[in-house]
Chains A and B, each alone.
Chain A
Amino acid sequence: MSLSYRIAYVFLRNLYSYKRFIVPTFLVSLVEPLFYLITFGVGMGAYMGAFGGKPYLHFLVPGVLASAVMMSSSFECLYGTYIKIVHEKVYDSLIATPVSADEAVAGDIAWGSFRGLVSGTLMMSVALLMGVAPASPVRLALLLVFMVFIGVLFGSLAMIVTSVAPSFDFFSYYTELVITPMLFFSGVFFPLDNFPPWMKTLAEFLPLTHAVRISRAVFTGEPAAGLGWSFAGLIVLTAVIFTISIRMMRKRLIK
């Protein structure tokens, strides 16, 4: 793989283009957390009683945090990147410069991760305003770092889909068949404890399950079973998926 500091140049290019969209994207990124936190957290939470001694919102926030990062980074690396390849031809002009195709892709994954971080941070801010805070400021900082990490994971995963997408419509298969189900089977909104065993097993194969588990443990400060394995698994998975995504995009970009 040919990766270097030039990844930052690609990120910079995205930052320049972002300037014009920053207000609308902030609005969108704010509406989503408000939607989740108010409907599920406040509305449903009222019927849920205490969750391990705390209001439901304390259970919900770390889960929704992880899924918000997943959503943003995925969408950026699906639609955002596809537009840059097919419609805007940004990649064509990039690879004619000393920036390699690998760096262009890695730069876009970094960008997707950043967009995830922005969504997560906005979500966190709303939660803080609602009085739902991580156990300590250090944990807040750790969560931010963790968001960057899962942004890279889901950004890379989306990049693989983009590398083979013949058209825009293709992405709805991925979002409808992978992303949305993952949202409901990964313990974002309720614990997995009451799932039948086969569903629990299935959930263990979903990366979001592990991301949520870690996010929740960091947020609440309460250790969960298998946390180390979740973390190790995600690191290996991210490395593998990142590598595959770059390889596959290279095939699409270099003819």
Chain B
Amino acid sequence: MTTLVTASGLTKKYGDLVAVDGISFEIREGECFGFLGPNGAGKTTTVRMIHCVSPVTSGTLTVGGLPSGIGNRALKMMTGVIPQEINLDNDLTVHENLVVFARFFDIGRREARVRIAELLRFVELEAKVGSKISELSTGMKRRLLIARALVNRPRLIVADEPTTGLDPQARHLIWQRLRQLKTQGTTLVLTTQYMEEAQQLCDRIVVMYQGKILKEGTPSKLVEEEIGREVVEVRIPQEDDERVLRHLAAFPCAHERVGDTLYFYCRDGHGLMRRLLELDLPNTLNRPATLEDVFLKLTGRSLHE
């Protein structure tokens, strides 16, 4: 697979604030590449540099071999952007939003009409073609953002938290559409805070925190490497930790105390669980490890603001 996006020592500063701190990564043509991270990690800042709306402070960033930059129309021509903030044109109808966008990309009137009909079908908004934006639900708005991002038949799609604030049905519909695009060969750059989303869509992910990349890999490999296969949660007062840990000493599991819970990260959760039951604790849980555990382990379990 060829590389579509290459970043090396990519840095973005806003005054004194370092929003993106010398990160390097490669995105291959045709894959879905995910940026995971808590609020303020620098995900949006990074993808905005990729789609050429924010200048790079230092380091290099190329897309399709061309240096990314504000004035790079060729890159903007081949990129579709689904922004984090819904910025549909509220003065225009659903249809007009797409018509105007098609013009921005030099798409002729007749061609635009065909594509718009096709796209409205793709995102299941045919019935809303003449509606005002204010008459749409959040899910519909997000779907329209997808349609708008596809007007220019992009080779690269940048989706910044495309399912934030949606109910499960709406979220699954968007996931299906994004997967469909991927099977058609489109490269997808996704940012998300939802671990399930990353697991559902991404071939490879990076976990970002405070402007840096902490880890990179496939979702399953990251879980395996960082956590193991299973997690056991024990909700006990901290005073009891020592007693429990002594009892479980034979098991090679990493453990962590966070708030009211003691976490064990294991390869063999069942064995640990069986031994734990001997203590007859009221509140224990054995579950498969998820990307969420990786995320929380890497970026800490406390709130970031």
Write the residues of chain A forming the contact surface with B, with a CB cutoff of 8 angstroms. Answer: 2, 6, 9, 12-13, 16-17, 20, 88-90, 92-101, 254-255
Contacts and interface: CB of A to CB of B under 8 A. Distances in A.
A16 to B, nearest CB: 5
A10 B79 CA distance: 19
Nearest to B152: A97
Given A20-B91, A88-B91, A100 B100 contact: no
Contacts of B96: 16
A145 to B, nearest CB: 27
22 contacts: A2-B71, A9-B104, A12-B103, A13-B89, A13-B100, A16-B96, A16-B100, A17-B89, A20-B91, A88-B91, A89-B85, A92-B53, A92-B87, A96-B51, A96-B81, A96-B83, A97-B105, A98-B77, A98-B104, A99-B104, A100-B71, A254-B53
B73 interface: yes
Interface string B135-177: 0000000000000100000000000000000000000000000
Contacts of B83: 92-93, 96
A61 B53 CA distance: 46
B85 A255 contact: no
A97 B150 CA distance: 12
Interface string B268-301: 0000000000000000000000000000000000
Contacts of A99: 104
B54 A6 contact: no
A90 B144 CA distance: 15
Given A2-B71, A100-B73, 14 more contacts: A9-B104, A12-B100, A12-B103, A13-B100, A17-B91, A96-B83, A97-B76, A97-B101, A97-B104, A97-B105, A98-B77, A98-B105, A254-B70, A255-B54
Q: Tell which of A88, A89, A98, A99 has the most Cβ of chain B within 10 Å.
A: A98
Given A6-B104, A16-B100, A93-B83, A98 B73 contact: yes
A47 to B, nearest CB: 46
A16 B85 CA distance: 23
A100 B77 CA distance: 12
Nearest to B93: A16
Given A16-B91, A16-B92, A20-B91, A95 B53 contact: yes
Contact of B76 (A12, A13, A96, A255): A96
Contacts of B88: 93
B80 to A, nearest CB: 9
Interface string B97-115: 0011101111000000000
- Chain B contact patch, size range: 20 to 34
Contacts of B87: 88-90, 92-93
B67 interface: no
A197 to B, nearest CB: 49
Contacts of B104: 6, 9, 94, 97-99
B40 interface: no
Nearest to A91: B87
Nearest to A94: B104
Contacts of B106: 98
Contacts of A100: 70-71, 73
Contacts of B105: 97-98
A71 to B, nearest CB: 22
Contacts of A12: 100, 103
Contacts of A6: 104
A132 B223 CA distance: 82
A88 B89 CA distance: 7
Contact of B53 (A17, A89, A90, A96): A96
A100 to B, nearest CB: 7
B22 interface: no
Nearest to A87: B90
Contact of B103 (A9, A20, A90): A9
A17 B14 contact: no
A12 B51 CA distance: 24
B55 interface: yes
B89 A90 contact: yes
B298 to A, nearest CB: 28
Nearest to A20: B91
A95 B101 CA distance: 11
